[in-house]
Amino acid sequence: MSVVRKLSGAGAAVLLVATAVGCTASARPGEPVKSAGAPEVRTDASRLATCVELPGKPERVRWRVRPLGIVDGRAPGPTDHQLEGVVWLVDGEAARLSAGGSWEPEPYGASVPGELSPALSKADGWTRNTALEDEAAEGAPHFLLNQGANALYVWALNPQCRS
Beta bridge partners of 67: 81
Query: What digits encode the pLDDT tens for the residues 6-53?
Result: 444 544 443 333 333 333 333 333 233 344 567 899 999 999 999 999
Backbone angles phi, psi at 156, to 5 degrees: -155, 140
Query: Which amino acid would we find at residue 74?
Result: R
To the nearest 10°, the Cα dihedral for 70, 64, 160, 133? 110
Residue 79, pLDDT > 90, answer no
Query: Residue 132: which of 96, 89, 100 has the closest Cα?
Result: 100
What confidence score (pLDDT) does residue 125 get?
A: 92
Residue 152, pLDDT > 50, answer yes
What global pTM score does this model have? 0.72
pLDDT band at 137 (very low <50, low <70, confident <90, very high): confident
Mean pLDDT calculated for residue range 107-114: 89
Cβ atoms of 69 and 82 closer than 8 Å: no
